[in-house]
Amino acid sequence: MQRALPVIVFALVLISARIIGALNPESFGNLQPFGALFFCGMALFGSRGVILAAATWVISYPITSIIQGYPVGMEVIVPAIGFTAMVGLAKLFRKSSPLKTFAGSLLGALIFYLITNTLSWAFEPLYAPKSLATLGQALWTGLPGYVPTWLFFRNALIAQALFSGIFVAATRTISFSSSKKTAQALS
C-alpha cells in the first residue's frame, strides 16, 4: 500500500484537475496535464508510462462530461483518437534529448487539437454545411454558446509546455541523481 500511495495521490490530482477545468471552462478549460502525461509517458517510459494517464482519463471523462452538460457516449472516441495519435507521435521521441521531447510534446498538442476539432466538425451536425468555412469555425470559434475553441487550444499549449517541462525535468533530475549515486557506489 505504501508504494501505491503516490500513484493514488497522483491519480486523484489528475482527476481533480479535470473536474476543476470542467467547472471553470472559461478560465481553466483544457488547462490540464493529460496531453503532456500521455506524450511524456510514452516518450520517457514506453507503453507502461501511458497506463496511469489512460486510467485516470477514462475515470474522469464521464464526470467532466456530465458537469459540462455533454452526453456520455460515443463522443469519447474523438479525444481517444487524439490521445492515440499523440502517443503514436511520442513513440518517435523515445530516447530523444529533453529539448526534442519537449518540442515533440508541443507538436503533439497541435496534432491533438487539429484531430479532435476536425473530427468534431465531421461528426457534429451543427457544423453545416460541411465546408472550409465551418471547418474554420470548428478550429477557431467552435459552436455558438460554448467557450471558443482557440481558448482551449491556447490553454492546451500552456498546459503542454508547463507539464511537459515538469515531467522532462523531473525525469532528467531523477535519472541524473540515480546515475550519480551509482557512480558514487562504484568508486
**Widest Cα–Cα separation across the chain:** 71
Please compute the mean of the pLDDT values over residues 48-71 and round it to a whole number: 85
Of 60, 54, 61, residue with least CA distance to 37: 54
Tell me if 5 sits within 8 A of 132, measured CB to CB.
no
Per-residue model confidence (pLDDT) at position 183 = 44
Distances (CA, A) of 71 to 75, 101, 125, 137: 8, 35, 15, 22
Distance CA 98, CA 169 (A): 8
Asked whether residue 133 is domain-assigned, the answer is: yes
The grid cell for 68 is: 459540462
DSSP 32-54: SSHHHHHHHHHHHH-GGGGHHHH
Total domains present in the chain: 1
Asked whether residue 171 is domain-assigned, the answer is: yes
| Model confidence pLDDT, tens digit, residues 118-170 | 999 999 999 999 999 999 999 999 999 888 899 889 988 998 998 899 888 88
Q: Is the pLDDT of residue 19 over 90?
A: no
Asked whether residue 187 is domain-assigned, the answer is: no
Asked whether residue 21 is domain-assigned, the answer is: yes
Per-residue model confidence (pLDDT) at position 72 = 77
Structural domain boundaries, residue 153: 5-182
Asked whether residue 178 is domain-assigned, the answer is: yes
Per-residue model confidence (pLDDT) at position 56 = 86
pLDDT band at 23 (very low <50, low <70, confident <90, very high): confident
| Model confidence pLDDT, tens digit, residues 31-57 | 788 899 999 999 999 999 899 889 888
Q: pTM score, two decimals? A: 0.80
Asked whether residue 177 is domain-assigned, the answer is: yes
| Model confidence pLDDT, tens digit, residues 97-120 | 999 999 999 999 999 999 999 999
Distance CA 30, CA 34 (A): 9
User: Scanning the structure block, which residue is given the C-alpha cell 497506463?
Assistant: 51
